[in-house]
Homo-oligomer: A and B are copies of this chain.
């Protein structure tokens, strides 16, 4: 989907939707109960962060261009402070789920396509989530790695895959200790399952 086109349509047609800019390091939004905010990241990068009980910042999720986020996607309650912080300069569309639904009765043609575009973004998000859940469900680091590699491989129709992010971030994505993951990658290489050169991995099985 062409999100910049969507953005233009929305801003021309709907006073309830705001477009805002956030410099790196600033808070884009705090998740609050019952506000039902929805945000679309037009450009930049941002993290969804929670403070845990010890005061550590947990990065729950990372957002890139075209990602959709907001309160509607999370169980929000008062124990549970979530906020989104720009890690690079961000352009964001902000509106509420209720506006999305209510306005439909007045201005149907446009809102139909708006909702249907939102639905598409949400569906893409769901696919990514299902993929991640499947990987996280594997019991061992080896299985997690191989199942991730297989997914990349079948997406690119090739046994040669290029990791889309750093090994440090890969460990976060798989939710495993980085050093333990590195050890397992070494094992896979030594046992002849994969060949690795920088960010490129060749599947030998």
Contact B126 A175 (CB under 8 A): no
Bound form: Cα–Cα A114–B120 in Å:
14
Bound form: Cα–Cα A155–B79 in Å:
11
For the complex, count residues of A whose C-beta is within 8 A of B: 44
A97-121: CB near B (< 8 Å → 1, else 0) gives 1001100100011011101101100
**A186 close to chain B: CB less than 8 A:** no
**A75 close to chain B: CB less than 8 A:** yes
The stretch that binds B, out of A86-94, A130-138, A159-167, A191-199, is A130-138
A137-163: CB near B (< 8 Å → 1, else 0) gives 111000000000011001100000000
Contact B177 A139 (CB under 8 A): yes
When distances are taken between beta carbons in the complex, the residues of chain B under 8 Å from A61 are 130
Given contacts A101-B116, A115-B112, contact A139 B75 (CB under 8 A): no
**A129 close to chain B: CB less than 8 A:** yes
Contact A136 B139 (CB under 8 A): no
A74 to chain B, nearest CB (A): 5
**A123 close to chain B: CB less than 8 A:** yes
When distances are taken between beta carbons in the complex, the residues of chain B under 8 Å from A139 are 175-177
Q: List 17 A-B residue pairs with CB atoms under 8 Å apart, sorted by A's residue number.
A: A60-B137, A61-B130, A72-B126, A73-B126, A73-B127, A75-B127, A75-B131, A75-B151, A75-B155, A77-B154, A80-B154, A101-B116, A104-B112, A111-B112, A112-B112, A125-B126, A136-B175
